[in-house]
Structure 1
């Protein structure tokens, strides 16, 4: 955000300017003419600064040459380039001969930079980001250069520390925490540090060696003294070491292993919160990066961690109590609607989602807010308000601290300081500034309550004990059975006895009995909320029946209970979807990770398009090491589960029509197959080398996966398997070029086996797809992978008519573009052959009759006459007369009969567009083509609904009678029997 423009210095501050200017001139003495020679713009800037800041006035009098030098260098008006500040400090420290001189030089440099930074801040010559960056760069350079100045002298005295395991010289790692770690230091901030070293051992090169830890403790003490001690020149930075393990009672320095063990065994939630911003600010950068990698699993959990909200809320409650106790309501950092609340909001999302969303693993708060907006966690309007409010508060913080270089966030209570703060912030009066400040604090507090505050609190921050509390006695078994059933019946349960027994069964079940205390507390908090929302549904019995198995499944992983407790919207989505579909309820019960999908309603009901799907999956897999097959398989399966849930939810809600549902499910399969082929190819090539083409070139990969049936026809359903055929165009006899060479035929066979393994292997997240390979040449008796030539010869010379029917719906899903184009040419050639229509009709009719006999409903007559079915008999949507397969067979018959004369019929593999082609080419009356399209979509829509209800694809005979009769009429008119 931009602050209001600079205003005229108020008259109440003119006396400060007059006094400061006189004192500065006196201090300059004969050099006062240099001050007088300043341009008018700089003189005005000087008046603004000394009128607002006692610190700058005092420094100008104490060391007037520094201010003149800053002016002469142009550093008051221009930004420093990256590295400038460090270079200045390094040059100054190069001549230091002892620690006393080191301390003096550091402090004078700090005061010089502090004057420059405050000058630029007050005069609007630097924005908030630049001011924070300059202050953080000053701290970084001070810490790192001081450390490297001290280290060799420390080694001369105590020896060089060597690693016991590696034998390498050891350096300390200095972690900057909090605002320093995030490059967000304020004008008078202290610096929170943690000291560490890579490994134990002893020093070498002196008579009396030291343990490495003792060596680094002594070095750490010298570093703190060089920075923190107050001398006549002031201090460099106040150093706070309380964030280290065990706080003030802990060792000053820890080895990497000790740190890892501590955070793994004893690390508390507030330490996770602090560690988000940890950054290496001094010492060994490479070792520091390794340390942060070691500690990352402590900070960012691989699962969704909604328990983090509880910890943040507890921290906020303690802060609020402290604020009230110490009368700090006017504290713009800790008070209500203060800086800390914005930080809590950002870090809540980081702690919850950061383990799985790597884009949240960053330190600067404003960048985190931008990511929360970009990734859809928070609406743009909310992020904009939090960002603007946060920046206003940070500018205010700097204004308060610029006055006297004091570490405070308290609003001033005297008129002069109030006038100064208002002036720095661009307001004519304190009242105008304060009104704006309170507006932003109010907005931040409101957003904070939406994310962090207890959902049981009312708008005044008071806990609402009534939310779901009426169900607590029933859940805790404080009621007798009769009273419990009466309460359930009064609330709308049709079978109160069954509902009570389900709840009692959960309460006394093994999963709940084995829960730890914290988990049981979370369950006790959740169940009343569940019941309170369940009774809002039309059929609470069904909701409870479908959701309780999920609760039992996740009981031991109580973070999921916290997720649902903390997110009433997610719980509502869960109940709605489970009530609508037992299939969804079962999926979430089997794979609770899917609960994550309920958190973002916009994402849940808006699955991505095909390119976005493929890109998202590629991005996920690139984050996993190439040799970690287990994680790759899990990532593929979770990706499929999550997106399949989105599609199902969108279909149930009506957000996606039938055709789009099949599109998305097909795109999902294609994206997964593309990555599975890449993984299988990489693995097989690594083991055996690359196969060759007939021309001697290397295959890359000269392999395609062809989809038949529903995936080929872009008509996948929720539980569809994949009908696949593998084809290669390599030289089957030439050997691969690897260390363990095999011939091309073997290579591609093993590649195919690898693909099937990746697709069908059962992991914790199930299997990707069931795969049916029976449509390959010669079926189960044929080779797993055919060469393109063998495939062509089989289709031309040996394939049955039903195999050519299947080829109508075949298309290349993934793989080599060159081989794919060659396959399409073979397909067009085979399907475009001239056929004797009477024989073709007989063969198609015969195959269809066999299918009806074997797969149709036994109660339904298999014939094709006008009255071939009875209204009372059930209707199998797929296999019975007048059903889905009859429409598919008619489309396949038409393609085989007429595509030789009408090649455009082969352009598409899905029934709907082939029917459009038949109408467009005049091969089928428009009314009949439209009817078949609408009936086909109606049948498939009914099948999808039944699948989501976990019911077989059969409806009562009363349904679709007219549609079935019309389908059979067209069947007969095509000459099929």
Structure 2
């Protein structure tokens, strides 16, 4: 290149570099003679100039008596000689970097002065990279083998095989490219002959780590290559090194289309690899299908779609690699033929673009004119790319916006004016894009939702933390963005490791941008909502129908986000039982609750589709009904449609409907087997269910179990009237067992309810079901005070009218017994202290068991009912605390002030505990907000029970 052709602005840069060189090495008088040769290159490349300033031996290496060294060196021989005497790791790092710098300067010099064609430049950069990787790997292997021994399997030494991916694999590496690698080894085993034995996996992991450090670490001598290992199985979360069998299992069972696309350009870096053929045999079936695989076209379209997103997100309008008609589109055209026909045509399995283009031309799969046009355009773009990177050893494919960069590009590409270069570039890119659209084309229109488009990049592209946070800065402040990205990146890693199938991954990839967008809309804590949604998505990721449901029904997705935002308990329920997603399809239906007395009719309608003989299906259906109705109640709850008292009413009536159906189903099953018990006149069953605790008090919560007691009124000792007759009272025991089985058996949708029968006469040692007269006798003669306390919260919830009336009379008789108030107070106080000792949570205010909490209020009402009902029988009419307190006030057992204080505290504690359940927390308050209410309860307790 003649100095006369170089613009003054570039000459000024070159002179500054030259002067700095002379100032750095004033004693090197031989430099003066090289000025006319060196100065033009210093004008064109800061990288070359700074490298020579850092290491004058580079110029001595390049400029011998006969001028620039242009013949291709034997890189392997030269580097082996330099590493032969190196024993220290830092020395090895230094040698690699100096070697790389020296030879990259040489290649840049040849390219910038147009002393070699782009084909030769690509080939030499690739050969240099091969040598640096291979020799560094050998050094690390030998260095570790001297300590741990040689890795062996069945008496055969095991090598580390390095797969070069991308342009390195195709031997068309960029000048300043990073390198994509995958490490593997043949077989499991262990090292032999060292001071310490390691498993082969451990040994090769250490080798891989040292090799990455040798290449990737930035030192005072620079860097050899940026190393990217994300293309390995399972990505960043996968093992660094895999043995052949694990590699084969992964690609057969979990390999994805983009990995297949990437593997087209895979090449074994090791020059001598005894297991190379075996490794190729493992990878070949995954990459190249035996049949004509036109599905590859859609896979490439998807890849191109992702690239278009990246171009749009980063506003890469002048990118000659990723833009329309850029370098990547040529590679797509070539790889489309490879993926479609490569299984049948071995010649197409070559990883290099030029070799495959020649093959396409020879076989006339592309016309000679088209191949020649693609080849010319590709070489033009690759040469421009190399020059852009050689100016300052930067990995860039973006056209310069500054005048210096444009002048350099014009000079090296042979143009007088930058506009002339741009015109030529546009022609080449239009030619490439035309062929790309003709072959692959049909690129889907981007989603009309701009926010979803941007968030698609967040999910689909391998962004760095800085890139992701910059994108999220449009939607969130810095702390929230960090939290959101931390949650999302963890989920991305998790999903990468899950076996989902191709269709499942495609559906998830389409859905996730919408999920992210929904989380960011009107949510005060988007990262929290996102975490809750992940539980749901993990549960359904293998069930493509649910992913499609959310994708095709934006309203359902919006409802899911709304409910998960309101309650982690709801999110957990949907995650455990994905069938609940069906309830989100119709928002109006979701918030339209059954009337309190309508749950049983709804349940009967729900069960009509299932034959009565299909017991398992009916059990599962009842559980699904409970879950779906519970979700509706929760949805109405968290959105403020229902107050907490009404929530408990709905949960209680839902439970009663299911109790009724369970008893009837159990009765049907029992009578079909044993016949009717003696004395039964249908529709009466001679059987009843008594509810205690929260169900008895109409205060059921979402996670509440059922405290039940079963009674019958069968006085006969005769057998049932069936073919397999049993004693009639034995029938009722078996009926109770069957009821418990229907409640407690776990199906796909879990248990119907957890049931507790310990409040029956004689507790766990008593029969599961007792005669109503036995129940009366026990309550009147044997029951403890605490059992009478429990009776205040009891109700008859299912059974014959005669049994119900008999139970109410027994309950009235027992509760109205005259009692010694002092003895009663002592019993109540002792039971309360025992309960608190065993059940109270350690930290904060336990809303139920803590001093001044719910249990204290319940014990007070129970005490007043038991102590005063002999005077005022109407006190024992109600079973729920709020109405008991109102009744106590009405009959002047307690003052209006006490009734109001206890009712206010009781409702406040219940409401808070209820929210804790929905928030997935223990029912404990640490805020201190209830101190005044607690103090009032404690004061009343002290005055009443001392």
In the superposition, the TM-score normalised over structure 2's length comes to 0.51
Q: Which residue of 2 aligns with 1:688?
A: 674
Change (3 A) 1:534 1:949: same
1:660 pairs with one of 646, 658, 661: 646
- Conserved 8 A contact 1:519-1:556: yes
Instruction: Tell me the equivalent position of 1:929.
Output: 899
- Which of these residues, 914, 918, 939, is aligned with residue 948 of structure 1? 918
Partner of 1:494, secondary structure, is helix
Which position in structure 2 is the counterpart of 1:641?
Answer: 627
Match of 1:912 among 878, 882, 888: 882
SS of alignment partner, residue 711 of structure 2: strand
Correspondence for 1:116: none
CA distance in 1, matches of 2:496, 2:861: 53
The two structures have a TM-score, normalised by structure 1, of 0.50
Q: Deviations over 1:823-882 (max 9, x none)?
A: 111111111111122211121112112222222345xxxxxxxxxxxxxx6111111111
Distance 2:722 2:805 in 1: 29
Aligned to 2:579: 593
| Cα distance, 1:478 vs structure 2 | 4.0
For 1:599 and 1:933, how far apart are their aligned partners in 2? 39
- Within 2, Cα distance between the matches of 1:941 and 1:905? 25
Aligned twin of 1:577: 563
1:812 aligned to which of 796, 816, 821? 796
SS at match of 2:708: strand
2:808 matched to 1:824? yes
User: Cα offset for 1:559?
Assistant: 1.8
Are 2:739 and 1:739 aligned? no
Write the distance in 1 (CA, Å) between the matches of 2:779 and 2:795: 15
2:732 is aligned, of 742, 748, 751, to: 748
- 2:661 pairs, out of 653, 658, 675, with 675
CA 494–462 in structure 1, closer or farther in 2 if over 3 Å, else same: closer
1:528 aligns with 2:517: no
Alignment of 1:835 onto 2:835: no
Map of 1:398 onto structure 2: none
CA offset at residue 590 of structure 1? Answer: 0.8
Distance 1:593 1:854 in 2: 38
Query: Distance in 1 between the 2:663 and 2:636 partners?
Result: 29
The answer for the alignment partner of 1:903 in structure 2 is: 873
Question: Residue 468 of structure 1: SS of its match in structure 2?
Answer: helix
Shift of 1:715: 0.4
1:603 and 2:589 aligned: yes
- 1 CA distance for matches of 2:681 and 2:592? 44
- 3-state DSSP class of the match of 1:595? helix
* Equivalence for 1:414: none
Contact 1:721 1:771 in 2 (8 A): yes
Distance 1:524 1:732 in 2: 68
CA displacement 1:510-545 (0-9 Å, x = unmatched) = 687533433332222111111111111221111111
Deviations 1:353-404 (A, max 9, x none): xxxxxxxxxxxxxxxxxxxxxxxxxxxxxxxxxxxxxxxxxxxxxxxxxxxx
Q: Could you tell me which residue of structure 2 aligns to residue 971 of structure 1? A: 941
CA 1:734–1:511 in 2, change beyond 3 Å: closer, same or farther?
farther
8 Å contact from structure 2 (residues 590, 632) kept in 1? yes
What does residue 466 of structure 1 align with? 450
Out of 846, 849, 862, the residue aligned to residue 876 of structure 1 is 846
Q: Which has the larger radius of gyration?
A: 2
Do 2:446 and 2:453's aligned partners in 1 also have CA atoms closer than 8 Å? no
Show the counterpart of 2:72.
Answer: none
Deviations 1:530-583 (A, max 9, x none): 111111122111111110121121112122222222222221221121122111
What displacement does 1:957 show?
Answer: 6.2
Distance across 1 between alignment mates of 2:452 and 2:891 = 64
Could you tell me how far apart the structure 1 residues matched to 2:871 and 2:747 are? 50
Deviations along 1:899-922, one digit per CA (max 9) or x if unpaired, are 122121121100111111111111
> How do 1:615-654 residues align onto structure 2 when only pairs under 5 Å count?
615-654=601-640
SS in 1 for 2:691: strand
Distance between the aligned counterparts of 2:456 and 2:927, measured in 1? 48
Uncovered stretches (5+) of structure 1, i.e. residues with no partner: 1-456, 859-872
Secondary structure in structure 1 of the residue aligned to 2:852: coil
CA RMSD of aligned residues (A): 2.3
Do the aligned residues in 2 keep the contact of 1:489 with 1:495 (CA within 8 Å)? Answer: no
Q: Partners of 2:615 and 2:916 in 1: how far apart?
A: 36
**Pairs within 5 Å for 1:170-249:** none
Who is 1:794 aligned against?
778
Given that 1:760 and 1:771 are in contact with CA atoms closer than 8 Å, whether structure 2 keeps it comes out as yes
**Structure 2 unaligned spans of 5+:** 1-443
Deviation readout 1:942-964 (Å, 9 max, x if unpaired): 00001111111111262211111
Give me the whole-angstrom Cα distance separating, in 1, the residues matched to 2:823 and 2:487: 62
Conserved? CA contact 1:707–1:810, under 8 Å: yes
Inter-partner Cα distance in structure 1 for 2:683 and 2:624? 31
Alpha carbons of structure 1 residues 783 and 464: separation in structure 2 relative to 1, 3 Å = same
How far apart, in 2, do the equivalents of 1:918 and 1:465 lie? 61
Alpha-carbon separation, structure 2, partners of 1:589 and 1:834 = 53
Pick the aligned partner of 1:494 from 479, 482, 499: 479
Residues 487 and 527 in structure 2, CA contact (< 8 A), matched pair in contact too: no
> Structure 1 residue runs of 4+, over 6 Å off?
none
CA shift for structure 1 position 815: 1.6
Counterpart of 2:551 (choices 565, 569, 580) is 565
Q: What corresponds to 1:851 in structure 2?
A: 835
State the partner residue of 2:499. Answer: 514
Compared CA separation, residues 699 and 604, structure 1 to 2 (3 A): closer
Q: Distance in 2 between matches of 1:776 and 1:909?
A: 18
Greater Cα shift, 908-917 or 490-499: 490-499
Distance in 2 of aligned mates of 1:836 and 1:478: 77
1:87-102 alignment runs, 5 A limit: none
Contact map agreement 2:696 2:880 (CA 8 A) in 1: yes
Q: 2:450 is paired with a residue of what secondary structure?
A: coil
1:784 positional shift: 0.7
1:142-181 correspondence runs (5 A):
none
Encode CA deviations 1:300-326: one digit per residue, 9 max, x unaligned. Answer: xxxxxxxxxxxxxxxxxxxxxxxxxxx
Q: How does 1:372-391 map to 2 (within 5 A)?
A: none
SS at match of 2:773: helix
Partner of 1:138: none
Contact in 2 for aligned 1:512/1:555 (Cα 8 Å): no
Q: Sort the Cα spacing of 1:534 and 1:784 in 2 relative to 1 into closer, same or farther, 3 A.
A: same
CA drift at 1:781? 0.7
Name the SS of the counterpart of 2:707 in structure 1.
strand
Alpha carbons of 1:505 and 1:882: their partners in 2 closer, same or farther (altered >3 Å)?
closer
Query: What secondary structure sits across from 1:515 in the alignment?
Result: coil
The answer to whether the 8 A contact 2:529-2:565 is kept is yes
For residue 772 of structure 1, what is the aligned residue in structure 2? 756
Tell me how many residue pairs correspond in the alignment.
502
